[in-house]
Amino acid sequence: MKWVAEIPRSSLPDEMKMTAWNTVFDIGQFKQVIDKWLATPSGKESRWLSGEPMRQAILDRLKERMNDDEFEKFVAALLKVLGFERTEAIGGPGDEGIDALGTLDVYGLGQVNLKVQVKHVAPDKEIGDNVVRAFRDGILQDEHGAIITTGKFHPNAVEVANDPRKKTIWLIDGEELVDLVLKHYQDFRSN
């Protein structure tokens, strides 16, 4: 738990004061009072978000506050946080659609060599099946592929990526990317 503000007990309505430290209570009926105390002074942007506004702020930050190179480096850092070693952002001219690399060593039993294509696009933009097909052509037999985007995938792209007759291409859209950021936030902060 993180305390965001200290509210003097004397300033609360009588029905909201707790008489025992171990009391369990529902704050729902006191939401307006709590919101008033935690509200940001008018004219200032709140530092505290939760729920959908927080998810949207993360996605906006990934798209609007990073250029393409920074986003590729972010994805390489994400791979590291997920346990990949030898992660590298390699995007640029002549990268043949490969923007990041990583190797996952599975306790000395084997390695997963991952190639990632990054699509740093508007959150409502759909990535098509042609992108998946072209990317798959650059993945060797002993490699795995993933496309990570701040946008979405067209249903045809998902179908092509999961074609059972071909090598699977893992797809992570903007919403799933936000899920990963939230799940591994502390790991990002320590790396």
CATH number of the CATH domain containing 142: 3.40.1350.10
Asked whether residue 169 is assigned to any structural domain, the reply reads yes
Residues 125-147 as b or e (16 or more Cβ within 10 Å = b):
ebbebebbeebbeebeeeebbbb
Q: Which of 66-70, 141-145, 171-175 has the lowest mean pLDDT?
A: 66-70
Q: Which two tokens stand for residue 70?
A: 């920074």
Q: Is the pLDDT reported for residue 181 higher than 70?
A: yes
Q: How many structural domains is the chain composed of?
A: 1
In sequence order, the 6+-apart residues with CB closer than 8 A to the CB of 3 are none
Res. 1 pLDDT band, cuts 50 70 90? very low
Q: Is the pLDDT reported for residue 28 higher than 60?
A: no
- Residue in 133, 141, 142 with CA at minimum distance from that of residue 110: 142
Asked whether residue 24 is assigned to any structural domain, the reply reads no
Asked whether residue 157 is assigned to any structural domain, the reply reads yes
Residue 116 pairs in a beta bridge with: 100, 146
Asked whether residue 91 is assigned to any structural domain, the reply reads yes
Asked whether residue 8 is assigned to any structural domain, the reply reads no
Instruction: Report pLDDT digits (tens) over 108-157.
Output: 888 899 999 999 999 999 999 999 999 999 899 899 999 999 999 999 99
Q: Which domain holds residue 86?
A: 67-190
Amino acid 22: pLDDT: 37
CA 61 to the chain's CA centroid: 10
Amino acid 128: pLDDT: 97
Asked whether residue 33 is assigned to any structural domain, the reply reads no
Asked whether residue 53 is assigned to any structural domain, the reply reads no
Q: Which of 25-29, 79-83, 99-103, 164-168 has the lowest mean pLDDT?
A: 25-29
What is the pLDDT averaged over residues 34-52? Answer: 57
Can you give the length of the chain in residues? 191
Integer Cα distance of 91 and 68 in angstroms: 9
Beta-strand (E) ranges in the chain? 85-89, 100-105, 111-119, 126-127, 143-149, 152-153, 169-172
Q: What is the mean pLDDT of the chain?
A: 80
Asked whether residue 112 is assigned to any structural domain, the reply reads yes
